[in-house]
Amino acid sequence: MRILISGGSGLVGRALARELESAGHRCDILSRAPQQSLGAFDRAEVHPWDARSVEPLLDLMKGADAVVHLAGENLGAGLWTERRKQRIRDSRVDSTQAIAEAILRIDTPPAVLVQASAVGFYGPRGDEEVAEDAPAGDDFLAMLCRDWEDASERVSAAGVRRVVVRSGLVLSGSGGVLPRMTLPFRLFVGGPAGSGRQWISWIHLADEAAAIRFLVEEHSAKGVFNLTASSPVTNREFSRSLGKVLHRPSLLPVPAFALRGVLGEMADLVLTGQRAVPRRLLDLGFRFRFPDLESALVDLLG
């Protein structure tokens, strides 16, 4: 298959391209900064795209069997001012609308669109176990995910198999949030955030890439899928496992007021969460390589 990946130069995109190429697929990468992607891929071609324009997509999509849309500004790259929240939203919604428009305008559209979203769709849910049929929440992240997903809904009417992947916290030893989370532990000042009772729905990067490949190749897969390991943990449990793997204590909690004082509204990424489970993914027969947190952390952190 020939697969077009938008946002392919990011953490998940690079891992996905390797996963797809290992299975014999051909990948084309769309990136806002193609020069920064030089040497990042063995065989995939990298093409410039501003994550808004439709016209450049029309030629690139010709002959594509699948599109995986991952593009979007990093949520954790700065404080959530009103201006930044608008940029975060626009980077996701505008790029998705452009992808959908291009799919509808070409004569032979790709057979499948896999679109990224996040478990933030559900909003803070306390201890409730959340599967794919749960309704949206009403905070910033939930409304962002709802609008993000809605932007591609129209491709289904054109006969394109549409898959929405609501990812949890993607764990990687070489990027993303995990290296930042380990720093306090390495300095012997690690511990839970806030109450520690909030849930973390997580997934190993290798399983994230494998699950997306599975959904691209599985012709019966359509609709929404939670991409999270089957064993979510509380923030306190996550801290305990992280300390154990790093051989460090996990005793010093970070008060919620301190996080909110430093991060503002962005502290919700740490202080609230969802107990999301991948029910539909498991029902289709996908099997996780790293189903429990400790084995995932050992693999990533050694």
Question: Per residue in 78-115, pLDDT tens?
Answer: 788 889 889 999 999 999 999 999 999 999 999 999 99
Tokens representing residue 243 in the block: 């300390």
CB 213 within 8 Å of CB 289 = no
pTM, 2 dp: 0.95
Structural domain boundaries in the chain? 2-171+201-229+276-288
Report the CATH fold assignment for 2-171+201-229+276-288.
Rossmann fold (3.40.50)
**Average pLDDT rounded to a whole number, residues 273-279:** 96
**Average pLDDT rounded to a whole number, residues 57-66:** 95
Q: HSE on the CB side for 112, CA within 13 Å?
A: 22
pLDDT value of position 205: 98
**Average pLDDT rounded to a whole number, residues 29-37:** 79
CA separation for the pair 115, 123 (Å, rounded): 19
Q: How far is CA 181 from CA 9, 155, 163, 169, 299, in A?
A: 23, 38, 30, 12, 16
CA separation for the pair 267, 31 (Å, rounded): 29
CA separation for the pair 66, 155 (Å, rounded): 13
CA dihedral 221, 222, 224, 229 (to 10 degrees): 10
CA separation for the pair 2, 61 (Å, rounded): 10
| 3 state DSSP class of 224 | strand
The model's confidence at residue 258, banded by pLDDT at 50, 70 and 90, is confident
* 39 has pLDDT over 70: no
CA separation for the pair 116, 228 (Å, rounded): 13
CA separation for the pair 198, 298 (Å, rounded): 23
pLDDT value of position 37: 65
For 196-226, how does the pLDDT look when each residue is reduced to its tens digit (9 = 90+)? 999 999 999 999 999 999 999 999 999 999 9
On average, the pLDDT of the chain sits at: 92
